Amino acid sequence: MTKAAPIPAGPTDLTSSWLSVVLGVDITEVTVSAVGTGQTGATYRLTVRYAGERSGMSDSFIAKLPSQDETVRQRVALGYRAEHAFYAEVADTLSVPLPQCFYCDIDRNGADFVLLMADLAPAVQGDQIAGCSAAEARLAVTALAGVHGPRWCDPTWLSFTGTAMPRADAELAKSIGDVARTAAQTTVVGLGARMTEADRATLTEAADLIGAWLLLAPDRFSLLHGDYRVDNLLFDPERTRVSVVDWQTLTIGLPARDLSYFMATSLAPDTRAEAEEELVGLYFDALVDHGVTEYSRENCWQDYRIGMLQAPLITTFGYAFAATTDRGDDMMLTMIERGCRAIRELGTLELVRQLS
């Protein structure tokens, strides 16, 4: 990645001269168009014209900038710092499929940020409400093993400062547990009328266990994506390849939390129940291929059951602390319903109580 270019303050700064500097080629024209409606950032497609030979470079790129709302920028700066740390320090040490990163920079303690990536069009973003198929899930869990496996239990993760949330010790776990109760209460107040009684109860009980849950299985850890769901995956049109995006929620913890969260929230419950044994086994086999040892298939299944509390934790935090929209509420309800059903079917609450 070439350095020494000012960080664009907004889309009007994504100019041909800026791109020429960061890419090291002469670009004469760039057309900027917004992609999606991100609440914590802004994403743009840059269609370019080269002055001469483009040396194998693409006709288009994707640029990710912070929100144009300064209040949101400051609130989400920790996420921007995490994503910068991922691409600058971590991505090359893992085996997860990603869009190629051409340039990444950050300033103002995270409030200014730019990420320039390959445009994977015609790849298609997953649909969180519709959910994914078992075939798509096979791609996703195999890719996820490429996040966890290469640096499984790497002690340097314990001092890694690029996370949005550090690994929880007893004090932090208690604090997160307290916030989880508040987030669950807020979610039940706001969405409870559209939830079943069973889901309201599961959500509340899960929140009460978060503090203890965060401290389980301390001998198994890795970097976590933190929000590994189908909305953050890009599939090629033939559904033979997947790429993982949005690395703003990095944390360190039990690896299966990512797996459980994906399975619980991104598959329809019947699809998940039918395919989960196969998919957890596929994830385990991929971990072994990445060199993970002293970890059994039985350990993996138990961790999968334990990790299910990631679903209510992330969904209630998302509802309680982010701006709400009608589609956002529908998405949260879908994820909560799927997650709560998985928790009940897998006996997660009982298992966490037993192990705590």
Domain locations in the chain?
Answer: 11-118, 124-355
Q: How does residue 347 score in pLDDT terms, banded at 50, 70 and 90?
A: very high
Decide if 80 contacts 132 (C-beta within 8 A).
no
Residue 76 has pLDDT above 90, yes or no: no
Instruction: Give the per-residue pLDDT at 41.
Output: 76
Indicate the length of the chain as a whole number. 356
Instruction: Give the per-residue pLDDT at 155.
Output: 97
pTM, entire model: 0.95
In this prediction, what percent of the chain has a pLDDT beyond 70? 98
The Cα 234–Cα 140 span in angstroms is 10
Decide if 118 contacts 58 (C-beta within 8 A).
yes
Decide if 15 contacts 44 (C-beta within 8 A).
no
Q: How does residue 2 score in pLDDT terms, banded at 50, 70 and 90?
A: low
Instruction: Give the per-residue pLDDT at 230.
Output: 98
Residue 323 has pLDDT above 80, yes or no: no
Give the residue from 111, 76, 121 showing the smallest Cα distance to 246.
Answer: 76
Decide if 27 contacts 48 (C-beta within 8 A).
yes
The Cα 192–Cα 35 span in angstroms is 32
Instruction: Give the per-residue pLDDT at 279.
Output: 99
Q: How does residue 39 score in pLDDT terms, banded at 50, 70 and 90?
A: low
Tokens linked to 35: 């992609």
183: phi then psi, degrees, rounded to nearest 5:
-65, -40
Decide if 99 contacts 87 (C-beta within 8 A).
no
User: 11-118 and 124-355 share one CATH topology?
Assistant: no
DSSP 8-state assignment for residue 8: P
**Edge-to-edge strands of the sheet including 124-125?**
124-125, 233-235, 242-244
Residue 1 has pLDDT above 60, yes or no: no
Listing DSSP states for 190-258 in one string gives: HHGGGS-HHHHHHHHHHHHHHHHHTTS-TT--EEE-SS-SGGGEEE-TTSS-EEE----S-EEE-THHH
Tokens linked to 280: 């957890």
Q: Domain spanning 11-118: which superfamily?
A: Phosphorylase Kinase; domain 1 (3.30.200.20)
The Cα 165–Cα 80 span in angstroms is 13
Residue 36 has pLDDT above 80, yes or no: no
Q: How does residue 38 score in pLDDT terms, banded at 50, 70 and 90?
A: low
CATH pick for 124-355 out of 3.20.20.70, 3.30.930.10, 3.90.1200.10, 3.40.50.11540? 3.90.1200.10
Segment 99-123 shows an average pLDDT of 93
Residue 43 has pLDDT above 90, yes or no: yes
User: pLDDT (tens digit, 9 = 90+) per residue, 261-284?
Assistant: 999 999 999 999 999 999 999 999
Q: How far is CA 184 from CA 198, 319, 329, in A?
A: 14, 9, 14
Peptide bond into 97 cis (omega under 30): no
User: pLDDT (tens digit, 9 = 90+) per residue, 183-234?
Assistant: 999 999 999 999 999 999 999 999 999 999 999 999 999 999 999 999 999 9
Give the residue from 220, 244, 240 showing the smallest Cα distance to 230.
Answer: 244
Segment 240-247 shows an average pLDDT of 97
The Cα 32–Cα 10 span in angstroms is 11
Q: Which residues contact 38 (CB under 8 A, 6 or more apart)?
A: 67
User: pLDDT (tens digit, 9 = 90+) per residue, 133-182?
Assistant: 999 999 999 999 999 999 999 999 999 999 999 999 999 999 999 999 99
CB-count burial class (<10 Å; 0-12, 13-18, 19+) for 327: exposed
Which of 2-11, 34-43, 252-261, 330-339 is predicted least confidently?
34-43
Put residue 94 in one of left, alpha, beta given phi > 0 → left and psi -120 to 50 → alpha: beta
